[in-house]
A and B are shown apart, each in its own frame.
Chain A
């Protein structure tokens, strides 16, 4: 992919983020109820509410409010939590690692299991491997992640106390301890995506196998591992990467439920509490972070396309 195209993609991403910032800001304007009243509490006087409103700048024109808020965002200042009065950025920074780690590990689980199962099934269409993968994949897609999480906890943490049932520890406290806390939530979150990926990969491999260029490769004497590695995987990867990008976004949403089951205080619980408390600076922070992550994932997917598919490079 040419540098010019990368710059164009980056520009597009920044534009999307700016639009998201406007929507995020307006979202709060559209929420029913006055944040100033919420902060002041039920027994506050009118004067008190007015004072808080002035303090937060809510009495200024909307455009000016947005300008002030956006300037803050650009300087890394998202305001203060209405409930704890701590800075939004540091609160999110505290909760983010657990969530990001679990989501990333879930994605890893999904890719490793999903892609390998899908390739195996696609290459052996109609065999027992194929049927097993298809059945398990349907099951995996049908199972809600919270239920899967509970089953995993009961199997691997309660019945057989091999792994901790709840909580998250930082990797600095030891790789083994860290991994033991990550395995179950990541698996619970990632298996549905693995199932989705397996089905998709199977379809893509099956499709690529019917392509004339695979026949050509066979006509040149290619077969087995060579054929799979050189011709089938790369061509199958193009549509699979698209699904992977979509699924990555979904995982980031799904992690909320898994965090709840495993009692991990990550971004998920932060987001839920913020919504319940109408803690709008926190909500804004969370939405902005989500948008940045999704845009980043899309950017990575776009770049990966260019790497996998030479047609995109010149497009």
Chain B
């Protein structure tokens, strides 16, 4: 399948087949947190083979937690209290540790936000890439290192043989992220989870890393879960979008749906906060206020205090996740009820 929002078929779903990854009702909480609402609540989405799904939202919306939970990598302070994460038919939340270990780094690779702190400072980059193959394929170090050299070349690092013996601090941020990607694809995964892979990098490097990810996606037929807050990246790279706000999914849609017909006030607010190119000196809209912290979520719609379309009597009540079509869902009752029609950012 060719990536890109322009290439979608009518339903946004590839024809036939079970989803590769199916997240159902994922709820993440602090231990003993029965009283407070979850940090992440009832998150449901699918990733089909070869497709890229974006998790977007401001910082603190639970998108990173969601991506960590897929491979069971949540920090010790939080835990999954409900839901399932089916990967190739196996529930990663209830499978054995051994099964989970085989999935991590094998059919599912992961890339993190800050390459500098995410690479082991005391290990050469060659060994860190080779580690994956040694763990999963039982290759000898020398064999795995040779393969690591090929992988470095594949991710666009010149003089790979020499670079194998480098330590992370001897490389630039962009190089480090290439190393992270090389390790993540070392066992030819089917799914790549990328948690804000370009956020910590310079703008020019960001473009290069995205270009690399796009190439790899095409060559390896990778499915991707991309955590980002950059709508440009979403438009450029992804097929489907999951918009998260304060631990809830606000809207779930194919990419075109988000840009042409957003169905949640938060999505449209995000769109209008993006500067428009070619329209210099226009006022940049900002979303007033900030994401509430866990434990301080409003009882009703969680976006209600910041929403410019809110109606007290209605929005103070909890909102249900509603399907508008096969592939477009919203958690805004006013939109679902046809009361509110939002404008998209892109017209024509």
Seen from chain A, the residues whose Cβ lies within 8 Å of a Cβ on chain B are 210-213, 215-223, 226, 230-231, 234-235, 238, 308-311, 314
Contact = CB atoms under 8 A, between A and B. Distances in A.
A238 B118 CA distance: 18
A230 B114 contact: no
B237 to A, nearest CB: 21
Contact of A219 (B73, B114, B120, B124): B73
Contact of B119 (A216, A238, A308, A311): A216
Given A310-B167, A311-B167, A314-B170, A218 B119 contact: no
Nearest to B72: A218
B122 A219 contact: no
Given A221-B105, A222-B135, A314-B170, A309 B122 contact: yes
Interface centre among A211, A217, A220, A226 (most CB of B within 10 A): A220
Nearest to A125: B76
Interface in B89-130: 97, 101-106, 109-110, 112, 114, 117-124
Contacts of B103: 221
Contacts of A235: 120-122
Contact of B73 (A218, A230, A309, A311): A218
B180 interface: yes
16 contacts: A210-B76, A215-B73, A215-B118, A219-B104, A219-B112, A220-B135, A220-B183, A221-B101, A221-B105, A226-B135, A230-B120, A230-B131, A308-B122, A309-B122, A310-B122, A310-B169
A213 B97 CA distance: 20
Contact of A213 (B117, B124, B170): B117
B71 interface: yes
B131 A217 contact: yes
Given A226-B135, A310-B169, A221 B119 contact: no
A266 to B, nearest CB: 39
Contact of B118 (A216, A226, A314): A216
B106 A212 contact: no
Contacts of A210: 75-76
A212 B112 contact: yes
A282 to B, nearest CB: 45
Contacts of B61: none
A219 B105 contact: yes
Contact of B123 (A221, A231, A311): A231
Contacts of B49: none
Contacts of B73: 215, 218-219
Given A219-B73, A219-B110, A221-B106, A213 B135 contact: no
A216 B121 contact: no
Given A221-B105, A310-B167, A314-B170, A213 B131 contact: no
B24 interface: no
A216 B167 CA distance: 16
A230 B112 contact: no
Given A215-B118, A221-B102, A235-B121, 20 more contacts: A216-B112, A216-B180, A218-B73, A219-B109, A219-B110, A221-B104, A221-B105, A221-B132, A223-B97, A223-B101, A230-B123, A231-B120, A234-B123, A235-B120, A235-B122, A309-B122, A310-B122, A310-B169, A311-B169, A314-B170
A298 B318 CA distance: 64
A222 B112 contact: no
B135 A212 contact: no
A219 B105 CA distance: 6
A212 B167 CA distance: 16
Contacts of A310: 121-122, 124, 167, 169
Nearest to B169: A311
Nearest to B134: A226
A89 B101 CA distance: 62
Given A219-B73, A220-B135, A213 B105 contact: no
Contacts of A308: 122
A211 B117 contact: yes
Contact of B122 (A215, A222, A226, A234): A234
Given A219-B73, A221-B132, A221-B135, A212 B121 contact: no
B136 interface: yes
Contacts of B120: 213, 216-217, 230-231, 235
Interface string B279-302: 000000000000000000000000
B121 A309 contact: yes
Nearest to B74: A215
Contacts of A220: 104-105, 131-132, 135, 183
A255 B75 CA distance: 45
A311 B104 contact: no
A216 B120 CA distance: 8
A231 B122 CA distance: 8
B323 to A, nearest CB: 33
Interface string B307-330: 000000000000000000000000
A210 to B, nearest CB: 8
A309 B169 CA distance: 11
Interface string B163-188: 00001011000000000100100000
Closest 6 CB pairs of A and B: A220-B105, A221-B105, A219-B110, A310-B167, A213-B120, A212-B118
B31 to A, nearest CB: 12
A238 to B, nearest CB: 8
Nearest to B120: A213
A311 B124 CA distance: 11
Nearest to A231: B120
Given A215-B73, A230-B131, A221 B136 contact: yes
A222 B117 CA distance: 17
Given A219-B71, A223-B97, A230-B131, A213 B106 contact: no
Interface centre among A217, A226, A314 (most CB of B within 10 A): A217
Nearest to B180: A216
A212 B104 contact: no
Nearest to A126: B76
